[in-house]
Amino acid sequence: MLKPAALLITAALTLSLAACGGDDSDTPSTPSTPTAAASPATTNPTAPDEQFSEDDWPLTGRTRENQRYATQTEIDKDSISRLGMAWSNNFGGDQYLQTALPVVVDGVLYVTTSTNEVYAFDAATGETKWKYTPQVDFTLSTGVGGYGVVNNRGVAVADGKVYLLTYDGTLKGISANTGEELFSSRVLDPATGAYENMQPQVYDGKVYVGSSGSDQGVRGFVAAYDGKTGKQVWRWYTIPKVGQGWRAKGTAGGTVYMAPTIDTQNGNVVFGTASSAPTIDGSKRPGPNLYTASVVALKADTGKLVWYHQESPHDLWGYDAASPVILADVDIDGQTRRIATQTGKNGFLYMLDAQTGEEVHPALAFSKQAHSKPTRKGSLQCPGPIGGSQLDPKAYSPRTQAEYITSIEFCFLLQVSDDKTAEGSYGGKRVVPSDATPFGRFDAVDLKTGRFLWRKKMPTPMAGGAVATASDLVFTIDQKGVMYAFDARSGDEVWKANLGLAGAAAPIVYAVDGKEYVAAAIGGSALTSSNKFGPVGSAIVVLTLDGKKIVPQKPTAAPDEE
């Protein structure tokens, strides 16, 4: 079993992994010792000088803490039976998958498609306000990390601009009012195998981005760009250059898939990193391979390293720390502790001190744990590389002080090999056992104690994420397209409806003129398609009380068509 390790960085650390500028820069980022929190935490999703309406869903996780918690209470356990369709849009055509996390600002809902179009809808009526279609080259990157299929996880909105990362590595600044392109900045070179499908983050005039492509030999990074001009402010690399530290030619890793979380109290940007590569065969990369498979905190204004917590040192199983970090102020042993949580593909929930990265509770296993070093003969590993917690965002309710976790129980056979095909870039073969019966879990963990509040076995793998509300409901979607509402305290099923397409992105909750809505971008991910977990396509579905009959969306491609 993996032993989680919490490691606090001090100024004495000499390993130089960070740089400003291009991939070949040697400029080190000096680690900084954490300082005391500057001010009490706030439940307001805004930072200084920001003004967001409580009705909106203005950020990827609604609040700066990324809790995916909505304050609306109109839809509750008594009224939810009246939930119906407010409006929907089936993107159809060439839209094969849908992984976007919508945002709502000033009554406008912004969502992307897998091919990087941006739609702005009236959040109450579904009327299309504008559509932006960028010119994107989808041919340069192999995109193995996305199973050869492109997708996009959404936009960020701030200061009258919409920010989009395109698959071929550009950051677009778009007018929130008109959809007009205002600037385009190159953030990576797709010829290296790197590509973009993440949702950017915004804070204090900056746009924060990462990248994908670890298994194409890509060196991971997080970078900040000026939100007005699109110019780079700083860049921090998650692993060394080739020839430095542990990194030899042919090794890579540490990419950042999901939007970072901003800790306004400590002035940090906090995120998880992907595993090292080649994954299954670690013979060319001795040591723990910092800072892969880790939760990392940097100073938001400078990109200087503050602390890290490596979840899977010298990872051999593909255990990315992929799901976004949540921040929460939790009552623990009579004190309020600010903690950072992250659910890994290794099937553990990590609960860390947000100021230091040290463990507040021992890591909690929510997936079956049975893995050993892969061999050339091959052996069963649990969870497999698409088990545990995938990229989907989790939810936290300050009312219950519990985190709500979607996950997958799916074991794989891993075999070290010299295979030179695309699959061989992992350092071996990942084989689904012939008798595999993957399923999902939806769990609630009491962060006061670090123990389960309740657990649910789900009929399909769960890779969509969740949203919690002030009426003590928590919503999620399975791979068959069924949306559920559970009692946040007991785990009892309160409601469900078939939306027709697989859920690979968490729902959101917002209000317009006092009326509450539940929205979900549905259609499935590459995981859905490659494993035939459910119907794929692309649609946005918005529900409200006393709406029309919920009619399942039609898929644009059968699950066995790629």
How far CA 476 is from CA of 108, 449, 510, in Å, comes to 23, 24, 16
Tell me the pLDDT band of 18, cut-offs 50, 70 and 90: very low
Torsion angles phi and psi, residue 81, rounded to 5: -65, -15
Q: What is the per-residue pLDDT for 526?
A: 83
Q: Which residue has the higher pLDDT, 454 or 30?
A: 454
Domains of the chain: 18-29+56-545 (2.140.10.10)
The DSSP annotation for 41-91 comes to --SSS--TT----TTSB-STTSSTT---EE---SS-TTTGGGEEEEEEEE-
Euclidean distance between CA atoms 23 and 298, whole angstroms: 19
- Mean pLDDT, range 298-302, rounded to an integer: 98
Instruction: Answer yes or no: are the C-beta atoms of 116 and 155 closer than 8 Å.
Output: no
Tell me the pLDDT band of 557, cut-offs 50, 70 and 90: low
Sign of CA dihedral 299, 304, 308, 313: positive
- Mean pLDDT, range 185-199, rounded to an integer: 92
The DSSP annotation for 361-373 comes to EEEEE-S--B---
- Share above pLDDT 70 across residues of the chain, in percent, rounded to a whole number: 87
Summarised one tens digit per residue, pLDDT across range 354-377 is 999 999 999 999 999 999 999 999
**Would the pLDDT of 538 be above 70?**
yes
Q: Which two tokens stand for residue 263?
A: 């800790």
- Average pLDDT of the chain, as a whole number: 89
Q: What is the per-residue pLDDT for 251?
A: 94
Q: What is the per-residue pLDDT for 14?
A: 28
CA-CA-CA-CA dihedral for 458, 537, 549, 406, to nearest 10? 20
Euclidean distance between CA atoms 436 and 382, whole angstroms: 12
Q: Where are the beta strands (DSSP E) in 176-280?
A: 181-186, 201-203, 206-209, 221-226, 232-237, 252-253, 261-263, 268-272, 276-277
